[in-house]
Structure 1
Amino acid sequence: MIVPVSSAHALETSALYNERRQNLAATILRISRGWQMRSPVMVRMREMKGVLSDVYSVPAAPDELDVFSLAAGAMDTKRRVASASDLPPGLAKLTNRLTAFSTIYDVLMNPERVPSVVAGWHEHFNNVSRDPEFRARSSKQKSIDGRAMAVSDVLQEGVAAALSLGVPVEERLASVLYARIDSMPSLRVYGDVIGHRLKNRAKWEPNDLIDILFLGCAAAYADVVVAERTATDYLQRSWGSRDRSCPVVAKLPEAVGKLSHLLD
């Protein structure tokens, strides 16, 4: 059984400090055993590359497809730049792995209080929810709008994905990504959650971005995801018709039940 650590753990535990943070961090590190969930940004970039490669018939370079990985720096959003070294390849690789995992350890075990960053991302969606014209739209149209907003949110990443493949960046790039969103698991969850929350006029909070990004990505690829009650509710309600049931639960006994069923 794999219980990975992600950069969301560093963000979500930043409000704790001293012994409480260190005890929680020690538990996370012990249970994860080096396994990490890749950055959701990198996961959806890879999804978009796959779509664009297919649409434009451009071969994509082989990429690591594992969302849950033991690779050094797997949970980083940007690829690590290895410093020049005269070490033999095997030893250089080991050094890189040790550096990566010691960094995770240091970040999680840092006993100091880290001030929370209040981003303006959530206010955009609060404004949309309050907009009279948007509120007058049908429920179905709001769901469509949620997916469109998700694509708009990640369009610069889509441009980067296109450039990396040598694909021409056309005006229809957003339309291509929107039309193929069902084939991009994490981006689909992202868009459907946005649509569901806007449709139900949910109040958006600063930490909602972290929840939607990381829990949504995990839900798209993991067998079981444990989340707090509110996130579980909107992920389950926005899940819709998929090949499998929503893996997100709010209680550990439910998670054990799901795991037991998978292991039968």
Structure 2
Amino acid sequence: MKLAEWVGRGKIIIPASAGHFHETTKRFDHEKRYRLGLTILQLSLGWQMLDPLQVWRNELHEIFHCRSGEGGSVRSQGVFTLASNAIYASRGMDSFRAPPDWSPESAFQLETLTAVTAAIDVMLDAERNEPGPDTGWVAANQRFSDWLDSQDWDAQQKRRAVNAFLLADLRREIAEQAHAAGVNVGEFQQWILKHAAKEIGQLPAVGLYREMHYGRHLNKGIKWVPNDLTDMVYLSCAAGYADFVVCERHMCAFLTQGIRRLKGATPVFRRLSDAVAAIEAALESPRGTAQSGASPDEHEAG
């Protein structure tokens, strides 16, 4: 398989994400779950996509940090990384720590090996993981879409409503990063009223996440399902930073449309065969390397 060959030669990176772990480990069919999990582990080679929620926080902090006149953000961090537990960077999880009397080098090795072996064990476990409690996200978006369908508004008016809906959903992250950057209440209010819509649209991950919300909420009669949250969060983050993305058909159109509206250049493929052909052409260019974001089902197809 060409993808595996390119990964082995260091020509491309196919990072794993928490979305891959979530979608894989909840599958019922043990054999398919095992094969998919093994494929993801083998092709990722330890590379991970940073938790999208942390990417969002970093991007929002960048906005407020730059507005303070201090230039580039002190939080700049690679979205694709070999750092231990990067896929859960902002989940408030207590990671294993080596005994305090260990040397820094030995502690690093133990903590990294523990994180890696735990990830492998979870992904290849014979027993599936339960999908987790209902957060209410699907119901809230369905109610909003149904309400928006009932309004006699043009597309621009509906976009403003979607923007307000998303700002409310991200209010905690926005407020925390404004506070961390030293933005006072008056400046924050002015930003919300005059600058938020434009500046969020300039963010690679958050901006594309909002564009996918636009596309889905403005699609009259849309039906929301639990997987939509995982797809939108992880695919928008991947497409904001990766060189190419492969995803299922039902999200491809919304993702592609969002990238086009933001004048992005990340190609999105519905078929692995098309992605392989494009990657092969890209590898012949002077740059010669690529980073991928892909959905779990597409990894299985590979």
* TM-score w.r.t. length of structure 1: 0.90
**What is the deviation of 1:150?**
2.4
Separation of aligned partners in 2, 1:177 and 1:84: 45
The equivalent residue for 1:29 is 41
Contact 1:151 1:178 in 2 (8 A): no
After superposition, what is the alpha-carbon deviation per residue over 1:215-250, rounded to whole angstroms, capped at 9, x for unaligned? 111011111111111011221123334444342211
Contact 1:143 1:195 in 2 (8 A): yes
Matched pairs, number: 264
Contact 2:204 2:240 in 1 (8 A): yes
1:219-258 equivalence runs, <5 A: 219-258=239-278
Separation of aligned partners in 1, 2:245 and 2:149: 36
Contact 1:222 1:247 in 2 (8 A): no
* TM-score w.r.t. length of structure 2: 0.79
Contact 2:252 2:268 in 1 (8 A): yes
Separation of aligned partners in 2, 1:166 and 1:88: 37
SS at match of 2:166: helix
The equivalent residue for 2:127 is 112
**What is the deviation of 1:120?**
1.7
Contact 1:227 1:250 in 2 (8 A): yes
1:1-264 equivalence runs, <5 A: 1-13=12-24, 14-58=26-70, 62-76=74-88, 77-78=90-91, 82=97, 84-117=99-132, 118-131=134-147, 135-169=151-185, 170-172=188-190, 174-175=192-193, 176-201=195-220, 202-263=222-283, 264=285
**What is the deviation of 1:145?**
2.9
Q: Percent identity?
A: 29
**What is the deviation of 1:160?**
1.8
Contact 1:6 1:39 in 2 (8 A): yes
Q: Structure 2: which 5+ runs fail to align?
A: 1-11, 286-302
Q: Structure 1: which 5+ runs fail to align?
A: none
Mark the CA change 1:6 to 1:224 in structure 2 (over 3 Å): closer, same or farther.
Answer: same
SS at match of 2:13: coil
Contact 2:66 2:73 in 1 (8 A): no
